[in-house]
Amino acid sequence: MGKKDVLGAIHVKLGNGIPVKILFVRNRNKRSEWLAILSTDTTLDHEEIIRIYGMRWDIEVFFKCNKSLLNLGKEFQCRSYDALISHTTIVFTRYILIAWQMRKEADPKTFGNLFYELGEDIQDIDFVTALQSLIDLFRNLAKSEVVFSVDIFKSQMTKWLAALPSYFKRCLDISGCES
């Protein structure tokens, strides 16, 4: 935003006596409308207030995407604090994978379906199930008293990797277990 987008600013005190600066800026999306940005740091210049607001807006978009597109708080209901933290971590990891994929791709028009594809693939197998299957695989190897060699390890890891959702394999470029 340039200086021409700043329509005006005013210094006022709130009801509790806190001084604030209210900045009025033109809405980029609808030029006929304006936005009011409130800052409690009245020493900042207009550009700095707009820059900080822009960073906050990115955070709002992050949470909006996680809640509406990646089902944060919708696909899992639990009262356990650890389970909630785990669910939130999984959803944020999905977002990180999508952001990483977006940086790798050249065509921004392809990203919309990526949110839905990632959400659907994750429902096929979750982290706990994938980890449990890996633990079961090694537990079965231990029960059969197989001498643990690199070849057996590679073979078993290849089988486990083959059972992962296709999206994980494409994102991580996993086709098998290599040395």
Whose tokens are 């390890």? That residue is: 153
Q: What is the pLDDT of residue 167?
A: 61
The one-character DSSP state at 178 is -
Angle (deg, nearest 10), helices 112-124 and 81-104? 140
Three-state secondary structure call for residue 8 = strand
Q: What percentage of the chain carries pLDDT values higher than 70? A: 70
Please choose, from the candidates 22, 59, 17, the residue with its C-alpha nearest in 3D space to the C-alpha of residue 38: 22
Please name the helix (run of DSSP H) or strand (run of DSSP E) that holds residue 147, with its range, or none: none
The string of pLDDT tens digits covering residues 35-68 is: 899 999 999 999 899 888 888 888 888 889 888 8
Domain segments of the chain as ranges: 3-54, 70-122, 125-179
The overall longest dimension of the chain from CA atoms, in Å, is 77
